[in-house]
Structure 1
Amino acid sequence: MAPLIAIVGSDGSGKSTVGEALLAWMNERQPTELHHLGKQTGNIGRAIARWPLIGGRLDKTIVKQSAGAKQSGAPSAFTAAIIYTFSMRRVRRFKKMLAARARGIAILADRFPQTGVPGPMDGLGLAKAAAGFPGRLARRERAQYEWMEQYRPDLVIRLNVDLPTALARKPDHRPSSLATKIADVPRLTFNGAPIVDLDSTQPLDRVIEQAKAAISKALGW
């Protein structure tokens, strides 16, 4: 089976930059593809916020409704449908990744789905929904995530960063959202997959070299 390496970390931890560098390096050894497995809800929210006149107000409304759903644990049917739709986008991306891997292509996954920690770090979006239509969607979402979770990476590169560094790299992100993601990263286990922790506040070239060394050791290169 072709190698599967996951790169995880909060926004601002350097996942994309490290991933691109590792992609070029791994391609020298065997055909490799970089697959983004995020839902990209944050990118859509920031795009809405940049809309003229109404964007900022609409973005704040969405954030408020989302926060209310998380606190109450009971998202409306409409909110649950949106969350479920984004989760299914992730499932489609995951299936595309598996198809490439089945063709013998090594995979670098930018983010990776998991069920251990609900929320923004690639976890279940409907973990608190239990009854009615939202509950039915939650059960479907969990089943899909548990299926994806069966495909354990050969190695997880977990990039750890502090809030000031992440904000300096991602000034358009909400500090509270980044803080939550940063706190969740050390809790991710990915169904017992091998994990190497890297301090991504270090100089980029050092982080990349450490990641290369970890991959070489894991794959016997």
Structure 2
Amino acid sequence: MPQPEPFRNRSAPLIALVGADGSGKTTVGQELLEWLQTMRPTAFCHLGKQTGNWGRAIARMPFVGRKLDKQVIARSSKARDEKGAGATVSIVIFALSMRRVFRFLRMRRLHRKGFMILTDRYPQAVVPGPMDGPGLVARNPKGMIARFLTGREQALYDWMASYKPDIVIRLNVDLETALKRKPDHRPASLERKVRDVPRLSFNGAPILDLDSREPLDQVIGKAKAAILDVIARYDQATAK
């Protein structure tokens, strides 16, 4: 893993924790946050849209849940085909991406104030889809509104991705393990996330790949060692 120098315009590190559902992000993130807060002011920022929670809540609704869930899946599939989503669906997807943008702006404000940042998820602009990429997946949609919103959304993700983390901790997991940990998730959606995670480059940011099937203390130990190295580089830069 490359070890670049700290960003000159930053006073504290930005650490991104990424991985598919079932990779252990929540558990690892909680452990790391408690540890980091013993060293310096640290803010935890969730940079996802969290739409999956809504979908699972809809599916559990009595009587109508399954029907509504199937409609959501059908519309999501339409948004991914070559023609793309219609105007209404495109507007909804774009609005959900704006939720991530607002969270990202809050994170930037905290970082400018000098907080060390630990994020759950991080926006990336290269792989469209559920793994923190643009939601309007079709690159050349048919409708004028969909085309406009696709271009605007891509520009927003390009902008967010340009603010690179000092280190990305990527938790890798296989589909079988992820499904055991998240039995309420749609297998097809989870399969795509597991497949997409290794493809994410985060604009060239240093990436520490960890196997989340290993014992938790080993995973956390490796993550802490990498983070300590990043912090030490910032301390050295401040001391100069």
TM-score exceeds 0.5 = yes
Q: Deviations over 1:77-96 (max 9, x none)?
A: 11101110110000000000
Trace 1:1-221 onto structure 2 (pairs within 5 A). Answer: 1=10, 2-128=12-138, 129-130=140-141, 131-220=143-232
Moved over 4 A (4+): none
Q: How many residues align?
A: 221
CA distance in structure 1 between the aligned counterparts of 2:162 and 2:131, rounded to whole angstroms: 18
Q: Deviations over 1:68-125 (max 9, x none)?
A: 2212342011110111011000000000011111111110010000111111100111
Shift of 1:219: 2.5
CA distance in structure 1 between the aligned counterparts of 2:137 and 2:69, rounded to whole angstroms: 23
The 1:72/1:106 distance shift into structure 2, 3 A limit, reads: same
Match of 1:183, SS state, is helix
Q: Give the letter aligned to residue 108 of structure 1.
A: L
CA distance in structure 1 between the aligned counterparts of 2:136 and 2:67, rounded to whole angstroms: 25
CA distance in structure 1 between the aligned counterparts of 2:137 and 2:75, rounded to whole angstroms: 16
Shift of 1:171: 0.5
My pick for the range that moved more, 60-69 or 16-25, is 60-69
The answer (yes or no) to whether the contact 2:79–2:136 under 8 Å persists in 1 is no
CA distance in structure 2 between the aligned counterparts of 1:44 and 1:144, rounded to whole angstroms: 23
Match of 1:6, SS state, is strand
Shift of 1:126: 1.2
CA distance in structure 2 between the aligned counterparts of 1:212 and 1:187, rounded to whole angstroms: 24
Q: Deviations over 1:27-61 (max 9, x none)?
A: 11111011110011111100111111101110111
Shift of 1:206: 1.3
Q: Give the letter aligned to residue 107 of structure 2.
A: M
Match of 1:62, SS state, is helix
The answer (yes or no) to whether the contact 2:80–2:136 under 8 Å persists in 1 is no
- TM score, norm. by length of structure 1: 0.97
CA distance in structure 2 between the aligned counterparts of 1:167 and 1:127, rounded to whole angstroms: 25
Q: Report percent identity of matched pairs.
A: 56
Q: Deviations over 1:4-29 (max 9, x none)?
A: 00001000001111111100111111
My pick for the range that moved more, 69-78 or 134-143, is 69-78
Match of 2:45, SS state, is strand
Match of 2:81, SS state, is helix
